[in-house]
Structure 1
Amino acid sequence: MKQLALKIDVDTYHGTLIGVPALVEVLQRFGAHATFLFSLGPDHTGRAIKRVFRPGFMKKVSRTSVVEHYGIKTLLYGTLLPGPDIGKHAGNIMRQVRDAGFEVGIHTYDHIAWQDYVAHKDADWTQKQMRLACESFEQVFGEPARTHGAAGWQMNRHAYRFEQARHYPYCSDTRGTHPFIPVYEGEIIACPQLPTTLPTLDELIGVGDLTTDNVAQHLLQLTEAEPAQGHVYTLHAELEGRKLLPVFEALLTGWQAQGYQLVSTLQLFESLDLSTLPYHKVLMGEIEGRSGTLALQGPAFLA
């Protein structure tokens, strides 16, 4: 059975309010499943302005209209405007997603803080951020989270250990080609990774001749060949849930025509033979179209 898992990262308050309901509607219309990963704490999107000094950031921003996708108000949260607590103010929308039958999990607590700092933070800082996210998730849903997908694919040793200690069945914090058992700096982490296997729209649009008119066809060409263990496609509520919704609809149409079952990451995980999962090192590296480094599936590790 050909499977393609849809992983939806929800980064902002506005994306939760506007993008998430729009995505639920279109997914239900197509009979598709998906996993929604929520940012649960304060929306501090405006603090991303510090990234102007990061190599490649301005090039990426110039390819996509940040104001058009996120809105002026969101871009001021955490600077000129106080950042709203997403879990407290939009918990009803999150519960509606779960009640509609979709898997829900943790993306992060403070998206900007995690994405910008976690790679170099210690155990105390990392565990505090993850505990805050877990506590907020339980306040919203009345039960513990069962999965985590890191903001910006940013992780460190302490974050992997936290996932292992929480006994998450699987997580999706990395980029790669197929499911694997992660090995970080020689330490085996007993929590399988389902890496994102396909490029995201914001990594593609504006590169070469790719536009909103032809980017769906480009992605569909990448999924023509059947993968051995399925694909994971990461989308964003702020993009595919708003201005890029027509592109997402074209992707759903195309993937179903290619014979894919559109599933949640949990459904993809449950289809795997865990006894055969390979061990792979996790390395920090670059991906074309995205600024900075992120967690990548590295070479095989012989345990």
Structure 2
Amino acid sequence: MDQTVRLLALKIDVDTYRGTREGVPQLVQMLQSHQAGATFLFSLGPDHTGRALRRAFRPGFMKKVSRTSVLEHYGLKTLLYGTLLPGPDIGRNCAGILRSVRDAGFETGIHTFDHVKWQDHVTGKDAAWTQREMARAMQRYTEVFGQPAPTHGAAGWQMNDAAFVQEQLWGMAYCSDTRGTHPFIPLLANGQTCCPQLPTTLPTLDELIGADGLDTDNVADAVLALTQADTPTGHVYTLHAELEGMKLAPVFKRLLTGWQRQGYTLVSLADYFAALDVTALPRLAVRQGEIAGRSGTLAVQA
């Protein structure tokens, strides 16, 4: 990467029906007003957010819920989808919104088909299950956009080796499914390598708010402190349509302004990848690891 250009890629995870309808349009407007690039990764099937309440028994989950005001950010109706209320089909009901993001000049890609199903089960599933879920997402993406997705960013940073292989079979040039410190080529248990990973390098707002004295008034300053110093490969920041696109929009506006004052060019994953020397990327394993402020384990750069 050119050391004279500071790049920060914005990766936007869109998890829910409400986030697609309300958060995505607001994010498009904010990004356009700052002349910032970004990659929107869409959940394309049913919104079954209510089923995530099964995680209540996972260590740290209820603590995270209490810190980040899940009800306030997601709304009661969303928290009932897939349980007391049928889950609306995001890809079918919101196809026009999804295409409007592309038409506004932003990169789009796959987040998942069923967010809760993928996040809660993929690490324990076999290749057949994984390929079936990924095929559903790709089919729906193609129906909406008229062409295959260029990239994939896993729901909840949950992956297995079969999912990495499927990305390679799709011919994707890069994906962003992991957490880490710099781009790398994943090395699987069988010795196979797959398409380069552009891991999320910064903590997310929901991991920070409510911890160590951080709240909506000062969390932007905490993130900006992490990006002040130069790094060889810049950063990838993951935001959520349900948070930065809605009630945390003022925080995101402060981040956009702050990053630009720090000299960053805010780009899509595609533009971030284009600036890399792929031949110099290290080959590293992916392990299951913990991230401060997030319950459970996720795919982490070894």
TM-score range, shorter chain: over 0.9
* Alpha-carbon distance between aligned partners in 2 of 1:184 and 1:77, rounded to the nearest angstrom: 36
Aligned residue among 127, 139, 144 for 2:131: 127
Partner of 1:5 in structure 2? 9
Partner of 2:217 in structure 1? 213
Aligned residue among 40, 48, 62 for 1:58: 62
Once the two structures are superposed, what CA deviation does each residue of 1:212-231 show, in whole Å capped at 9, x if it has no partner? Answer: 00000000000001110110
Q: Secondary structure at the match of 1:68?
A: helix
- Counterpart contact for 1:17–1:90, Cα < 8 Å: yes
Alignment of 1:120-199 (within 5 A): 120-199=124-203
Q: What are structure 2's unaligned runs of at least 5 residues?
A: none
Once the two structures are superposed, what CA deviation does each residue of 1:231-250 show, in whole Å capped at 9, x if it has no partner? Answer: 00000000000000000000
Aligned residues: 298
* Alpha-carbon distance between aligned partners in 2 of 1:274 and 1:123, rounded to the nearest angstrom: 28
* Alpha-carbon distance between aligned partners in 2 of 1:101 and 1:126, rounded to the nearest angstrom: 31
Q: Secondary structure at the match of 1:174?
A: coil
- Counterpart contact for 1:181–1:188, Cα < 8 Å: no
* Alpha-carbon distance between aligned partners in 2 of 1:129 and 1:226, rounded to the nearest angstrom: 39
Q: Secondary structure at the match of 2:110?
A: strand
Give the letter aligned to residue 19 of structure 2.
Answer: G
Q: Secondary structure at the match of 1:188?
A: coil
Percent of residue pairs bearing the same amino acid type: 67
The answer to whether the aligner puts 1:89 opposite 2:93 as a matched pair is yes
Aligned residue among 107, 111, 114 for 2:111: 107
Once the two structures are superposed, what CA deviation does each residue of 1:56-95 show, in whole Å capped at 9, x if it has no partner? Answer: 1011001011111001110000000000110000010000
**Stretches of 4+ aligned residues off by more than 3 angstroms:** none
* Alpha-carbon distance between aligned partners in 2 of 1:189 and 1:100, rounded to the nearest angstrom: 34
Partner of 1:295 in structure 2? 299
* Alpha-carbon distance between aligned partners in 1 of 2:193 and 2:25, rounded to the nearest angstrom: 35
Q: Secondary structure at the match of 2:96?
A: helix
* Alpha-carbon distance between aligned partners in 2 of 1:236 and 1:266, rounded to the nearest angstrom: 19
The range that moved more, 134-143 or 177-186, is: 177-186
Q: What are structure 1's unaligned runs of at least 5 residues?
A: 299-303
Give the letter aligned to residue 210 of structure 2.
Answer: G
User: By how many angstroms is 1:189 displaced?
Assistant: 2.3
Alignment of 1:30-69 (within 5 A): 30-69=34-73
The answer to whether the aligner puts 1:262 opposite 2:262 as a matched pair is no
Q: Secondary structure at the match of 2:53?
A: helix
* Alpha-carbon distance between aligned partners in 2 of 1:22 and 1:248, rounded to the nearest angstrom: 11
User: By how many angstroms is 1:185 displaced?
Assistant: 1.9
Once the two structures are superposed, what CA deviation does each residue of 1:154-210 show, in whole Å capped at 9, x if it has no partner? Answer: 000110110011110000000000000001224332200000000000000000110
Partner of 1:71 in structure 2? 75
Once the two structures are superposed, what CA deviation does each residue of 1:252-285 show, in whole Å capped at 9, x if it has no partner? Answer: 0000000000000110000011111111111101
Once the two structures are superposed, what CA deviation does each residue of 1:89-120 show, in whole Å capped at 9, x if it has no partner? Answer: 00100000000000000000000000000000
Partner of 1:281 in structure 2? 285
Q: Secondary structure at the match of 1:292?
A: coil
Once the two structures are superposed, what CA deviation does each residue of 1:30-68 show, in whole Å capped at 9, x if it has no partner? Answer: 000000000000000000110001011011001011111
Aligned residue among 219, 227, 230 for 1:223: 227
Partner of 1:301 in structure 2? none
Q: Secondary structure at the match of 1:287?
A: coil
Q: Secondary structure at the match of 1:132?
A: helix
Partner of 2:207 in structure 1? 203
Give the letter aligned to residue 93 of structure 2.
Answer: H
Aligned residue among 240, 253, 256 for 2:257: 253
Which TM-score applies when normalising by structure 1? 0.98
